[in-house]
Amino acid sequence: MARILIVEARFYAHLNDLLLEGARAAIEAAGHRHETITVPGALEVPGAVALAAETGRYDAFVALGVVIRGETYHFELVANESARGVMALSLDGLAIGNGILTVENEAQALARARPDDKDKGGDAARAAIAMLGLKERFGG
């Protein structure tokens, strides 16, 4: 039974509730345990994962959040840098699933976040579990 940490950027609470629902259901369906921590926004997710990884208490991680395009360049910065940070952690050997949505509007976010629709929270959890399986297979 793996210990999985869900790190969620709580900027859009109603959307994150849906992502969390899907992620938790996928983790529980696979027979694993989970905890959840909250950070202010998507840019803080990779840092929180890195800090938690240093403790050695978790086997895998799920990154969740929502970034909705606005009127400024800030969207690109947050979307790109949060994805870059999660990818860097993956390349460093962490089993991590990226469920940080980067969308044009709330309707797209809702469709992707709902567990009964695209279930991107569940997908991220399943990706983390799959990566953990690979890590264990290769002796990591």
74 is catalytic: yes
Which ranges of the chain would DSSP assign to H, the alpha helix? 13-29, 45-55, 74-91, 106-113, 120-137
Are residues 97 and 64 in contact, defined by beta-carbon separation less than 8 angstroms? no
Beta bridge partners of 62: 6, 97
CA distance 140 to 77: 32
Catalytic positions: 74
